[in-house]
Amino acid sequence: MIAIFSTTTADTDMPIVLELLDPALYVGERRVSISKTLDLNVSFSDLGFTAADRRLTIKTIVTKTIAASLQSLLENNTELTIALWEGLFLVAPLSFRVSGNGTAVFTAAIKSKLSN
C-alpha cells in the first residue's frame, strides 16, 4: 500500500511516493462533549462526525533524501494533499519523526476529503 504526498502549489520535487509499513490508517473520533451538571447528572452533546475530525499517521521506511523532503513539507507548508487507498485528502502537517533505522512517522490533520 502506498501514500502519495504533494504540495498544493507547483513544486518540481513532488510528488513523494511512500510504501507504507502500517496500512491501518484509519483513526477517527466523534465530536462528543460530556459536561457535569450541578444536579449530579451530565449534559451530553453529540455533534456527529466529519473527515476533518480525523488524523492520519503515515509510517514508512525512508532514505535520507526522502526524509529531508518530508521534513521540508512539515516545516514549509500549511497544506498538503495526500492520496491513500481511501481517497484524496487536503491535510495540515502536524509532526514528523525519523528514527535511526530509517523508520519515519508523519502525522497530519485532515482539512477535507477531496475525492473517494
66 or 49, greater pLDDT: 66
For the whole model, what pTM was predicted?
A: 0.69
Q: Which of 82, 40, 42, 79 is nearest to 60 (CA)?
A: 82
Torsion-angle region of residue 25: left (phi > 0), alpha (psi -120 to 50) or beta?
Answer: alpha
| Range with the poorest average pLDDT among 20-24, 65-69, 82-86 | 20-24
All structural domains of the chain with their residue ranges: 2-115
Q: How confident is residue 98, by pLDDT bands cut at 50, 70 and 90?
A: very high
What is the 8-class DSSP label of residue 51? Answer: G
pLDDT the model gives residue 26? 62
Residue 65 pLDDT greater than 80, yes or no: yes
Please state whether 53 falls in left (phi above 0), alpha (psi between -120 and 50) or beta. Answer: alpha
CATH topology of domain 2-115: Elongation Factor Tu (Ef-tu); domain 3 (2.40.30)
